[in-house]
Structure 1
Amino acid sequence: METLRGSVRTYAWGSRTHLAELLGEEVPSPHPQAELWLGAHRDEPSQLTGRGTNLADALAEDPAGGLGPERRERWSDRLPYLLKVLAAEEPLSLQAHPSAEQAAAGWAREEAAGVPRTAAERNYPDPLPKPELLCALTEFHALAGFREAATTVRLLQALDVRALEHHTGLLAAQPDGDGLRAVFTTWITLPQRAVDELVPALLDGCVAHVRARGEFTGEARTLLDLGERYPGDAGVLAALLLNRVTLAPGECLYQPAGSPHSYLSGAGVELMANSDNVLRCGLTPKHVDVPELLRVLDFAPGLPTLLRGEGKGPVTRYAPSEFFTLARCDFEEGHLDEAAIDEAGAEPADLGLEGPRIVVTVRGSVRLRTAGGRCHEVSQGSAAWIPACDGPVTIAPVDGPALAFAAADGLSGRGG
């Protein structure tokens, strides 16, 4: 086990307080801090502070020790996941990710066409899918997946926007995935002049609905916020079709392939496959490839996937993908008898993960221990790398309540 130092990404939508407080830095931070990256991503691999190298180089030097012999073959000597702490003050782009088959095919097409892997118009810089989950640290707001069409018809009728009557009628006549595809495709391909007329009309309807305290006030407020931040963006129209989700701390939202989503605000721990394949729908100045987006999107309506973890005691594991498993290690109220913490520490819990692992502590401090008795303490804002060769590990709080998260590949969640 070794101390792992992540890197902070300073995107414009980030927070000036959450990550700074987590890392014990000056608050507010000089720039918005959006994500703390922990992993071996090629753009910014985390540093192993004890030996002056990064995790990507360390895995290249000893892939069998880091990943384990079987996982080395399965993951082609790559760490298959990327762990993040995310803090959003403003909405992220509306986006979706490809399936494994779509990613492989898209990457092959762009390679054959000679599109540079760093080009702005490149959709598939690698041949891998990018499922992801987010576990909320604070109240977290998001758009995720297509809402049931009949409910969206009611929303459109409640907003009572004359310019949208035709689209409302189209969806009412076909209240299913095909109807959603037709309306979404119409909106996302509108000429800019039409978008510039339709979005203000929609926002006027939202203002009236909020003033009347209508049934869809939350959705209307979100659309008003998006319209103010992204004037003239067809993504504001697309957002009309999506579920608005509010997560309480500890709740986990999973984004499978094809699910359109946008994180609106809040802080959470995000775990994803180590891929950069993103197809954007809007709410962004970045490249939007509408034909490829329509190829990837899943228009099946329904509620988004909120994960129910497995485990007992303080450790709850979420294993929705072969690429990753997340363990939430909650040594806080309801899971910890503070009186039981003495000089010997609290009773350790089995982390229940195998292979290459990363642990980050977001509150308090935890102690990791191998079967051989080696210990490593991880305080708030710090992280640890646990290579496969370290074997099973237990986790316990140090001197009081603590909350930590551990990442591993999805084979751990399947008993691998």
Structure 2
Amino acid sequence: MDILQPIIKPYAWGSRDALARLQGRDSPAAGPEAELWMGSHPAGPSGITRDGRQTTLQDVVADDPERELGVVCDHRFGGRLPFLLKILAADQPLSIQVHPDREQARSGFAAQRTLTGHRAYVDDWPKPELLHALTPFEVLAGFRSRAEAAEVYDALSVTALRPVTAALHAGGGESALSEALRTVLEWPSHGRESLVSAVVEASERLAAAQGPHAAAYGAVVDMARHHPGDLGLVASLLLRHQVLAPGTTLFMPTGGLHAYVRGVGVELLANSDNVLRAGLTTKEVNVPELLRITDPAARVAVVAPRTLAGSGRTQTYDCPVEEFALYRTELCASPESVVPSSGPRIVLCLDGTARLRKPDGEEVFLGSGASCFLPATDQLVTACGDGTLFVAAPGIEAHQTT
């Protein structure tokens, strides 16, 4: 059992308070803190101390993948820890983005090996993800129905939008949504400023009127303060707007277009940092590639928790991927809870305290915001305390039994 030293990503949209409070540091932090990474991705591997030597989880896994991951996980994922656990803390809107599936990531990464400059794919892995809201979390996730999208754009009464509304009213279901998205994102440069200005002005009027879809129009107005003149503001109205209540879990499949607007949550994803962006960002955008891999039929679903058999305090969230599975346990002093799943795991204590113990008597103590890595050799581990544990594990076992 190895205590992790997670990596903080200081992206501009991050909170100055959420991660600092979670870890018991002075708040506000000196700058924005957007994501807390717990894993082995090369862009931010967690530090650990193994045998008295400071190293990273990435190097530990690479040195002996069969021991750290187990035979099944090692062979299935090519010696790579298949998941990445994060705390996401957004005070400002994230980009409109989409993530590739396994084949898209492999082919895209391979095709750009000889290129210089910006690379759309930073690794050859897919990136499905699961978001568990810790606070109310505002999201734009997945496409509206064609009819609802037409209704949302019609209500704006912006004449310039006729090519978009024409695509939506022409029928064709998902193909109409794809065409509407393409029309917006490929809007001629000479008319973009006036189009975005008219849409934001109309959205402000409709948000104030508190009619249908007022919250979505309000999100456009709010995002415009951070990204004025961005075509992503217009495209965002194609997406379903919702505010996840604390404890709600959302599964985002590959190909699902989305933008996270504001909130704090636990995020579990395949061990990848592949992001294709189309707007609402100062980072590189790649509209052609985003349009190519976006799947308007991708099912973005709220996942109901399922209580594990024989455990009244541990829940899991079923989703159709093999790279990861998420478990949540409310601890008590007695009896001890068995840390769920098998293979390599990362255990995060979200609040309170936890004591993890192996049969040989080895123990680690986790306070709020602390985490540890359990290699595959540490199979039977129990936990007690007054905290809440989130456990990330490979999804092979869970995927085979659901």
Deviation at 1:127, TM superposition (A): 1.6
Contact 1:149 1:301 in 2 (8 A): no
**Unpaired segments ≥5 residues, structure 2:** none
2-structure distance, mates of 1:47, 1:347: 32
Shift of 1:44: 2.1
* Count, aligned residues: 395
Please give the alpha-carbon distance, in whole angstroms, between the structure 2 residues aligned to 1:17 and 1:44.
21
- The runs of 4+ residues in structure 1 deviating greater than 4 Å are none
**Letter in structure 2 aligned against 1:288:** V
Q: How does 1:267-416 map to 2 (within 5 A)?
A: 267-300=264-297, 304-312=300-308, 313-320=312-319, 321-331=321-331, 345-396=333-384, 398=385, 400=386, 402-414=387-399
CA distance in 2, matches of 1:211, 1:15: 27
Distance in 2 between residues matched to 1:61 and 1:211, nearest whole Å: 59
**Structure 2 equivalent of residue 338 of structure 1:** none
Which digits, 9 at most, give the CA deviation of each residue in 1:40-93, with x for residues without a partner? 111221111463221112122222221112222222211111111110000111
Show the 5 A alignment for 1:110-189: 110-111=112-113, 114-116=114-116, 119-120=117-118, 122-174=119-171, 176-189=173-186
SS at match of 1:5: coil
Q: Determine the structure 2 residue equivalent to 1:39.
A: 39
Amino acid at match of 1:202: V
More displaced stretch, 159-168 vs 14-23: 159-168
Contact 1:7 1:38 in 2 (8 A): yes
Offset of 1:268 from its aligned partner?
0.4
Task: Return the offset for 1:37.
Answer: 0.7
CA deviation vs aligned residue, 1:348-370 (integer Å, no higher than 9, x gap): 22332111101111110122233
Task: Say whether the 8 Å CA contact 2:256–2:298 is kept in structure 1.
Answer: no
Offset at residue 134 of structure 1 (A): 0.8
- Is the contact made by 1:318 and 1:413 (CA closer than 8 Å) also made in structure 2? no
Counterpart CA distance in 2 for 1:211 and 1:295 is 36
Percent identical residues: 40
Deviations 1:199-252 (A, max 9, x none): 111111112112222111101110111222212211111101001121111111
Cross-structure match for 1:71: 73
Contact 1:319 1:410 in 2 (8 A): no
The one-letter amino acid paired with 1:327 is: Y
Query: In terms of mean alpha carbon deviation, does 239-248 or 48-57 score higher?
Result: 48-57
Instruction: In structure 1, list runs of 5 or more residues that go unmatched.
Output: 332-340
Q: 1:394 deviation in Å?
A: 2.7
Q: Is the 8 A contact 1:371 1:391 kept in 2?
A: no
8 Å Cα contact 1:148-1:301 kept in structure 2: no
User: Match of 2:16?
Assistant: 16
Task: State the shift of 1:278 in Å.
Answer: 1.3
Contact 2:253 2:298 in 1 (8 A): no
Q: What's the CA shift for 1:21?
A: 0.3
What is aligned with 1:336? none
**TM-score of the superposition, structure 2-length normalised?**
0.93
Q: CA deviation at 1:373?
A: 4.4
SS in 2 for 1:155: helix
Which runs of structure 2 are paired with 1:89-104 in the superposition (5 Å)?
A: 89-104=91-106
The separation in 1 between residues aligned to 2:380 and 2:234, in whole angstroms, is 49
